[in-house]
Chain A
Amino acid sequence: MRAGGLPDTNQVSTEPLSDKVLVTPLDRASLYAPTRAKALFRKIEPYLYLLPALLLVGGLLLYSVAHTLAISFTDWDLITPPRFVGLQNYIDAIRDPTFTRSFSNTLVWTGGSLLLPVGGGLLLAVILERIPGQRVLKTLIYLPAILSTTVVAAIWSYVYTNNGVLNETLRWVGLDALARPWLVWAPTNTLAMIVAASWRALGPSMVLFLVGLQTIPPELIEAAKIDGAGERLLFWRIKLPLLRPITAIVVIMSVIGSFMTFDLVWVMTQGGPGRSSETLAVTMYRQAFIMWRMGYAGAVAVILSAIVIVFSISYLRATLKRSTL
Chain B
Amino acid sequence: MIEKWAIRQRALDRYLALALLCLFAIAWVTPLAIVALSSMKTPREQSQSGILALPENAAMILDNIASASELSGIGNGILSSLIYAFVGSVTAVIAASSAAYSIAMLKIRFPFFWFLIIYSGTIFPFQMYLMPLFGLYQTVGLYDTRFGMLLFYSAITVPFCIFVFRNYFIGMQGEVIEAASLDGASSFQTYLRIVLPMAKAPALFLFVTQFSWIWNDFLFGQVLAKSDDVRPVMTSLAMLSGTYGKGSIPQQMAGALTASIPTLILFFALQKHFMQGIILNTAGE
Is there a direct interface between A and B, measured as CB atoms under 8 Å apart in the complex?
yes
Residues of A within 8 A of B187 (CB): 45-46
Say yes or no: is A322 at the interface (Cβ < 8 Å to chain B): yes
In Å, the complex CA distance between A27 and B5 comes to: 89
Is the CB–CB distance between A53 and B252 below 8 Å? no
Which segment of A18-26, A157-165, A176-184 sits at the interface?
A157-165
In Å, the complex CA distance between A207 and B276 comes to: 10
With A49-B106, A58-B117, A281-B125 as known contacts, state yes or no: A144 contacts B151, CB within 8 Å.
no
Residues of B within 8 A of A165 (CB): 30-31, 34, 51-52
Tally of contacts, chain A with chain B, CB under 8 A: 260
Residues of B within 8 A of A253 (CB): 122, 160, 163
Which segment of B56-64, B68-76, B96-104 sits at the interface?
B96-104
Is the CB–CB distance between A54 and B99 below 8 Å? yes
Say yes or no: is B83 at the interface (Cβ < 8 Å to chain A): no
Checking B129, B159, B256 against A148 with a beta-carbon cut-off of 8 angstroms, the contacting residue is B256
Which segment of A2-10, A95-103, A135-143 sits at the interface?
A135-143
Q: Which residue of A lies closest to B234 (CB)?
A: A148
In Å, the complex CA distance between A63 and B156 comes to: 13
Residues of A within 8 A of B128 (CB): 64-65, 68, 284, 288, 297-298, 301
Say yes or no: is A268 at the interface (Cβ < 8 Å to chain B): no
With A56-B95, A165-B52 as known contacts, state yes or no: A155 contacts B282, CB within 8 Å.
no
Which segment of A85-93, A111-119, A185-193, A242-250 sits at the interface?
A242-250
* CB of B93, distance to nearest CB on chain A (Å): 11
CB 8 Å contact bits of B179-217 with A (1 = contact, 0 = none): 000000001100100000000010001000100100010
With A47-B108, A53-B98, A284-B128 as known contacts, state yes or no: A155 contacts B201, CB within 8 Å.
no
With A62-B117, A62-B120 as known contacts, state yes or no: A154 contacts B127, CB within 8 Å.
no
In Å, the complex CA distance between A245 and B165 comes to: 11
Checking B35, B112, B164, B241 against A249 with a beta-carbon cut-off of 8 angstroms, the contacting residue is B164
Q: Which residue of B lies closest to A138 (CB)?
A: B275
In Å, the complex CA distance between A167 and B252 comes to: 24
Is the CB–CB distance between A150 and B238 below 8 Å? yes
Q: Which residue of B lies closest to A266 (CB)?
A: B127
Is the CB–CB distance between A214 and B170 below 8 Å? no
In Å, the complex CA distance between A215 and B172 comes to: 13
Residues of A within 8 A of B216 (CB): 147-149
* CB of B188, distance to nearest CB on chain A (Å): 8
Say yes or no: is B138 at the interface (Cβ < 8 Å to chain A): no
Q: Which residue of B lies closest to A142 (CB)?
A: B267
* CB of A89, distance to nearest CB on chain B (Å): 13
Which segment of A29-37, A221-229, A270-278, A307-315 sits at the interface?
A307-315
Can you name 24 A-B pairs with beta carbons within 8 Å? A46-B102, A50-B102, A50-B118, A53-B158, A56-B154, A57-B117, A57-B118, A57-B155, A59-B155, A61-B124, A67-B136, A131-B18, A151-B260, A165-B51, A216-B282, A245-B167, A245-B282, A245-B284, A248-B167, A252-B163, A262-B127, A301-B125, A320-B285, A323-B284
Known contacts A58-B117, A214-B276, A288-B128; 5 additional CB pairs below 8 A are: A63-B132, A146-B260, A154-B252, A211-B278, A285-B127
The 7 closest A-B pairs by CB, nearest first: A245-B284, A49-B102, A46-B106, A64-B132, A53-B99, A67-B132, A52-B95
